[in-house]
Amino acid sequence: MTANTSFGLTDDHSGAYRIGTVSRITGVDTHTLRAWERRYGAIRPTRTERGTRVYDDEQVHRIRLLKAAVDAGDPIRQVATLDDATLRARVTFLTGFDDEDKAGPVRVAAVGDAIARPFGAEAESSGVVLVEKAPSATTLRSNPGELDAVGVHLRDLGETPVEAALALRERLPRAALCVVYEFASQRVIGPLDRSGVALLRGPLGAAELRRAVRSAATAPVAVAVPTEGIDAEHWGALPAPPPRAYTDVQLERLRNLRSSLSCECPNHLAAIVEGLLAFEQYSAACANETVADARLHARLADGSGKARGLMESLLADVIRHDGLSI
């Protein structure tokens, strides 16, 4: 392949990556990558003498195409066997992405010193140009059309990372937003992933980060996944699930105590909270075979956590009303 073709693949950016690296730079977890290979034959990495999977640039970009198709609503079984050209055409149809739009060097803005350092003078030889370095997301000066990607560490998105990321995406809709993180809760990662942010699991080396940002910027524009059943705008406006209000011991006590209320509301509410808490924890830990699975389970955990918070507040009202001691 020649430079500036087909989603940023160039003949001078060849590489060989192990599955952990591929997972970090594509946002597809290793379990899903293995399932796509083993169950659907969607990708075919080579193997070392010891059996270690090794992926080249073409495989990495195919994974990004598969992810874009799945994110846009196609089941993996439907697109797994498509050849690269047909898959690319399918993704273009689903997302409106035109690979000619992002030919040439990728123009990047870096938020924070930690992200900016890998994009020094040597970055241009890897097809990346640092246009701006900003201390925070709110001080970024670049305008729409000037950037292909924005790199930022999760901690530099402030105390409300989801809101800050969404504000950046709204302001720079054509730029890929790449958020690097090491550890984060599902209540933060889930909404970011559903909004189309490219999540990069760290730690990442300088070359690895440059390649990941370039790959995100030259891949199909991620499609925000709507929330079914509840209007997506109203769903996103709901507060994040709160921390637990009651311990297991307190909930057990409330579920079994005698109340002056003839309807036994404290007992029933405590049982509901226990059930919601159990399902919230179950959903967060549930196994995922596809990106769609992971998104669904994240939404289930998020929704049950919000429902738990509401029921806990009602339980607190009942406790105050009845003067209960827990």
**Residue 94, pLDDT score:** 75
Q: For residues 288 and 296, give the distance between their C-alpha atoms in angstroms, rounded to a whole number.
A: 9
Determine the angle formed by the axes of helices 57-71 and 206-217, rounding to 10 degrees: 50
Residue 164: pLDDT over 70: yes
Question: What b/e readout covers 78-91, taking b as 16+ CB neighbours within 10 angstroms?
Answer: ebbebeeeebbebb
Residue 232: pLDDT over 50: no
Mean pLDDT of 227-242: 55
As a whole number, the mean pLDDT across the chain is 79
Q: For residues 174 and 147, give the distance between their C-alpha atoms in angstroms, rounded to a whole number.
A: 8
Residue 42 DSSP one-character state? -
Enumerate the β-bridge partners of residue 138. none
CA nearest 324: which of 234, 244, 261? 261
Q: For residues 195 and 190, give the distance between their C-alpha atoms in angstroms, rounded to a whole number.
A: 9
Which residue reads 């950046």 in tokens? 168
Mean pLDDT of 186-204: 82
- State the number of CA atoms in the 13 A half-sphere of 189 facing the CB: 18
3-state percent helix, strand, coil for the chain, nearest multiple of 5: 55, 10, 35
**Residue 226, pLDDT score:** 46
**Residue 10, pLDDT score:** 32
**Percentage of the residues of the chain whose pLDDT score is greater than 70:** 80
